[in-house]
Structures are given as structure tokens and as C-alpha cells.
Structure 1
Amino acid sequence: MIQKQYYGLGTTITLSVEEPATEADLDAGHRLIQHYEDILTVNRPVSEVMDVNHAAGDQPVHVSAITYQLIKRAVEVSLWNLGFNTAIGPLVKLWKIGFDGANLPADSDIKERLKLIDPADIKLNDGAQTVFLTKPGMEIDLGAIAKGYIADAIKYLWVSMGVKSGIIDLGGNILLVGKSARPNGLWRIGVQNPVQKRNVALGVMTTPAKSIVTSGIYERYLVINGQNYHHMFDSKTGYPIQNDLESVTIISDLSIDGDIWTTEAFYQDIDKGLPLIENQPGLDAIFVTRDYRVAITSGLKDVFTLTDSHYQLI
């Protein structure tokens, strides 16, 4: 495989293609990432999404078709009220976990932000292709969905360019393209061990070309007075989600679905999350708890193997 690493989306990106694809295909994928990051990011002062945020409480903002489609999808999912919330921006900016200035905010400030994170206050106009945040101080944050959307776009681009086999790794989002070089054409993919450095697996799965998305609390967190605060927030409390999970991995056809359902499943915990994913056609999941237990959906029973003896399959 031809492989290159880039930096973007706040992480190390690794793109790989099987010959006869070339480095030009990798660079084309990277340029697409840069373009989408430019219009969708909320970590810079200027982007299409930040134009929407700056106009909160003032006026609707016209955005490109790409940005509008993604915001519309994010709002639809947020209105399921299962945990995913694209209006979470004011809380993310208050806590700053994973960024300079990370802090434990005052409870009064958290309560004030809770008034600004209702996705029902985001008004969309399909005809005008505009987005309006009805309250001053509201902010859309697409961080929980943009990587998957971008990964799917790279795959679509590569297939249109004739790439037959490859791996898109956006750090937490892995999207497989075509068949592997193995005789059976299946891929062997390691599932991240949450308590080890990146690329150390707790288990391995054999799969055709799928999306594998992992969300966890082990990379972006803040420790104050011995208390660990991670970056996945509960929209009801304004504080990090409280449960026993360390990570959730979703296996799906589309990476955007992996983004959405890792958040929903993490919020629901194993008891509700496992049956929730079982009931979604085409989805499977791996739940990893803080006390070294692993639970999987039925579709993975013959294709997932634990490789770390510290963990127990339940």
C-alpha cells in the first residue's frame, strides 16, 4: 500500500491506497479534507458554520449545499433526543476540554449555557438554504458528525477516481474501501484499547469494507482535584456523561452513521445502548467499560476476537 500522513481535523490523518492508485489519489483526499474543514470548523474564527454562529439571535445565514445538508442532518438527529446534540457548542466552548484554557466552569455558568443548547431553536429554511440560531449566544458544533461525513466524501471521491482498495483513517474514524489484499478480500482491523497508546488493540475483527468509528473518553479529558472530566457532554446536566463506558465502536456502511450512533450509544450506556444498536439495520457495536468488560452485538460474534487478556467478553 502507498500511505501518507497529514494533519487535519485536530488529529493525525493516515490515508492509504493499493496500487495502481498513486500518491496523487492520497493528496486529492487530503485536499478534500482541507476544503471541508475550512467551511465546517468551529475551531477557527472564520468558516460557514461560524458565520451561522456569529449571527445567532440576529438573522438567518445562507450557506453552501454541503454545509446545509450536514447541519440539517445534525439537527434531525439532535431532535431524536437520544444524546447527540449539534447545539452543544456553548457548553464545549465553556469547558474547552481538549483545547487551551480547559477548565471546570462554575455551576451557574453551566446552567446559563443549558438555556442555549436546545436544537429546536435552530431554524432551517430549505428553499433559501439558510440556518438561523434564534437565541444570541447559541452555537452549532459539528464535531460529532463532520469526520464521518468527510470520510464518506473521500471514499466517494476515490471510487470515482478508480481507486480499488484503500483505508481512510481520520483518527477514530476508519473507512475501508474495496477489498483487502488478503486472499479472501476481507480486512483485519484492530479495535483500540482505551487504556493503551493509539494503535494498540484490545481485539481484532474480520470484515468486508465497512466504517469503524470509535468514540471514547480516553483522549480528550481534564483532571481537576483527582476528578476526570471528559469531552462528551450530557445536554440535560451540562456536565460530562456519567456512566461506566470507556468507549463505543460502531461498525456500519457509512462513516457518518458511525459518528451519530457512537454518540447515541455512549449516552445510553450498555443496558439501553446494546438493544438500541441491535435494532438498527446494518449496525453493530462494541462497548468497552472502565472495568475491562466488553459487550458486542450479535452480528459480531463470529468475526470479533479479544486479544487482550485484561478484558472479559460479556
Structure 2
Amino acid sequence: MNNELMAQRHVMTHHALGTCINLTIFGNEYFSLLKKSMDLIDHYEDQLTVNRNESEVMSVNHGAGKTPKMVSSTTFDLIELAVKYSRENFGFNALIGPLVKLWKIGFVGAHVPSDAEIKERLKLIDPYKVLLNRDARTVYLEEPGMELDLGGIAKGYIADRIRDLWIEAGVPAGIIDLGGNLLFVGRSPRRDDGQWIIGVQDPQLHRGENLATVREPACSAVTSGIYERFLIKNGRRYHHLLDPRTGYPLETDLSSVTVFTDQSVMGEIEAKRLFFNGEPITGWEARPGNRGAIFIHNDESMVNVGFE
């Protein structure tokens, strides 16, 4: 254990991206980076949010069915990435907003819509109806009522950018916690081998109570789960992870999937890939950037991928 570095632990808390953010940095000379990092988070939120009437993403949504909208290179790159994986049709869909707003699971007015309503909304979540012009940096949603929502990957992207900032500054160790989306930087000062001990949430207990732990070098840990937001109607439980292929909550016996990856933005995508697949994908952990995953079923049985 590096006791000297442990004594130079600094934490800053901030509310942004619809969640509580905690940044932990080790090293007195890097303390000023915490405020700079929070400012960076606010900057990206201003560009990417759909929870306000005005942002770069909202300008694209306002132009749906009307006109292409030019955005910054950062926003364009993230939209392009989101559309690319949405078109793979494995469950991740950055156009799913109209369907989410129909069900409203986790929000006031949550209800079970009719089949007819769901079929109408499915027409508005087609990722092939997004026109991207890289030269002009414009994005056009072809149908009125279509909406882009980058909430499924924005936190991962932002976490990666904060890590880049810290690494460039020479930060020896740190933890970026964007509301449960975790990214570890450098060598852990708590262990001589520099590895981090990362908890995996118990879906049936309060946040922070773990069912398992993983020991890894610096990496990202992202979870997709159905245990925090749901609706109970006529004795049936409807969770918030809607399947864009059907319009209904995904039928699954999984509570959560936690993935460990090099890049946090890819962790967001890969967590949904595995969750919607429902079981491990042969060779997944051998793909570049993927470290491992832990599947937790509703009966709390676990399947480990890539770990002993």
C-alpha cells in the first residue's frame, strides 16, 4: 500500500448528468484538476443533454422531419458512434426516446400502453432514418417525432475524456464515478500490485452493497440492470429496459450484467449487448478492449466471463 499517496486523497462531489458524480484523485498537486473536470462534465452536458429544451442534441431533435442541423465535432462523433451500434440491432438504440416517453417507466405517468400505440412509436426509432453528413457535420432525423438520446453512452464518453485529462496531467491514481459508471485511472494506492478492487452491486440490496468483487488493473466498470426502475401493473412487473425490436420490456431472467472494458463508452454499449443477449457470447472477452463480465440472474446465481 502507498500510504503517502493514500494520505493525499481528494474527493469532489457534483450533481450533473441526472446523477450524483464523485471524482477521487490521489496527489496534492492534482487537486485543481477536480474543478476542471467538473467544468468539463458541465460543458459536455450542455452539448449532449435532452433534459433541457436547448442543446446540440435537442437542436437535432427540433429539426426532425424539417432540416439537417450542424453540431460540433464532439457531438457528431458521439452521434455517429451511437447510430453505428444502433444499426447492429442487438438492443442498444439511441433513437428509442419516443418509446421510453410512451411507457414513462420510472417517471410520473408510467403506464402500460396499447399495442397500437407501441406500433406507432416503433416507426420513430429506426436508426436507418438518421442521415449523417460528416463533411458538413450535420445530422438529420427523417421523420417528425424522431428523437436522438445519447443518455445510453454519454456518461461513458465523458468519463473517458476526464481520464484523458488526468493521464495527460500525470495523475498517478484516481476514480471517476459518474453515478455508478466507474472508471479507474492509474495504479491503486491501496494495493502493492496496483490493482483495483471493484464491487459488483447486489441487485436485491441497496446501492453500494456488493454481491461480488473483481480485482483488475485500471479499467471501466459499467452495469446494465433492471432492478432500479420498474412499473407494477395488475400484478405484473415491467422494467425500464425496452426492447427496440418489440417495443416491450425485454423478457429476461437477468437482473444485471456488469462489464469491464478499457473504454467506458464501449462499456456502455457492451453491457447492453450482453444484457440483451441474455447469456455470454463465445469469445466476447477476447475481443480488443473487453476484459470480462459478470451476469447476475434474478435468483442471484452468477456467471463469470473472463475471470477465475
Bin for the TM-score computed over the shorter chain: over 0.9
Where 1:143 maps in the other structure, the secondary structure is helix
Cα RMSD, aligned residues only? 1.4
- The one of 85, 91, 100 equivalent to 2:108 is 100
Amino acid in structure 2 at the alignment position of 1:91:
L
State which drifts further: 273-282 or 186-195. Answer: 273-282
Match of 1:135 in 2: 143
Q: Does the 8 A contact of 1:149 with 1:255 survive in 2? A: yes
Q: Distance in 1 between matches of 2:24 and 2:270?
A: 26
Q: Does the 8 A contact of 1:25 with 1:158 survive in 2? A: yes
* Cα drift, residue 226 of structure 1: 2.5
- The one of 201, 215, 221 equivalent to 1:212 is 221
Q: Distance in 1 between matches of 2:27 and 2:111?
A: 47
State which drifts further: 276-285 or 220-229. Answer: 276-285
Match of 2:297 in 1: 289
* Cα drift, residue 8 of structure 1: 1.4
Q: Does the 8 A contact of 1:265 with 1:277 survive in 2? A: no
State percent identity of aligned pairs: 51
Q: How do 1:17-56 residues align onto structure 2 when only pairs under 5 Å count?
A: 17-56=25-64
* Cα drift, residue 279 of structure 1: 5.1
Q: TM-score, normalised by structure 2?
A: 0.93
Deviation sequence 1:103-125 (CA, Å, 0-9, x none): 22222211100011110000100
Q: Distance in 2 between matches of 1:232 and 1:27?
A: 34
Q: Distance in 2 between matches of 1:289 and 1:259?
A: 19
Report whether the alignment pairs 1:162 with 2:207.
no
- The one of 250, 261, 276 equivalent to 1:252 is 261
Match of 2:4 in 1: none
Where 1:300 maps in the other structure, the secondary structure is coil
Report whether the alignment pairs 1:193 with 2:202.
yes
Match of 1:304 in 2: none
* Cα drift, residue 6 of structure 1: 1.4
Q: Does the 8 A contact of 1:151 with 1:168 survive in 2? A: yes
Q: Distance in 1 between matches of 2:116 and 2:138?
A: 33
Q: TM-score, normalised by structure 1?
A: 0.91
Deviation sequence 1:178-225 (CA, Å, 0-9, x none): 001121111111111111111111011111000011111112222222
Amino acid in structure 1 at the alignment position of 2:278:
D
Q: Distance in 2 between matches of 1:224 and 1:38?
A: 36
13 and 291 in structure 1: CA distance in 2 versus 1, 3 angstrom threshold: same
Amino acid in structure 2 at the alignment position of 1:183:
D
Q: Distance in 2 between matches of 1:27 and 1:226?
A: 47
- The one of 70, 74, 81 equivalent to 1:66 is 74
Amino acid in structure 2 at the alignment position of 1:221:
F
Q: Distance in 2 between matches of 1:94 and 1:208?
A: 41
State which drifts further: 223-232 or 57-66. Answer: 223-232
Match of 1:227 in 2: 236
Amino acid in structure 2 at the alignment position of 1:137:
G
Amino acid in structure 2 at the alignment position of 1:135:
E
Match of 1:57 in 2: 65
Runs of 4+ in 1 over 6 A off after TM superposition: none
Q: How do 1:113-124 residues align onto structure 2 when only pairs under 5 Å count?
A: 113-124=121-132
Amino acid in structure 1 at the alignment position of 2:24:
S
Where 2:152 maps in the other structure, the secondary structure is coil
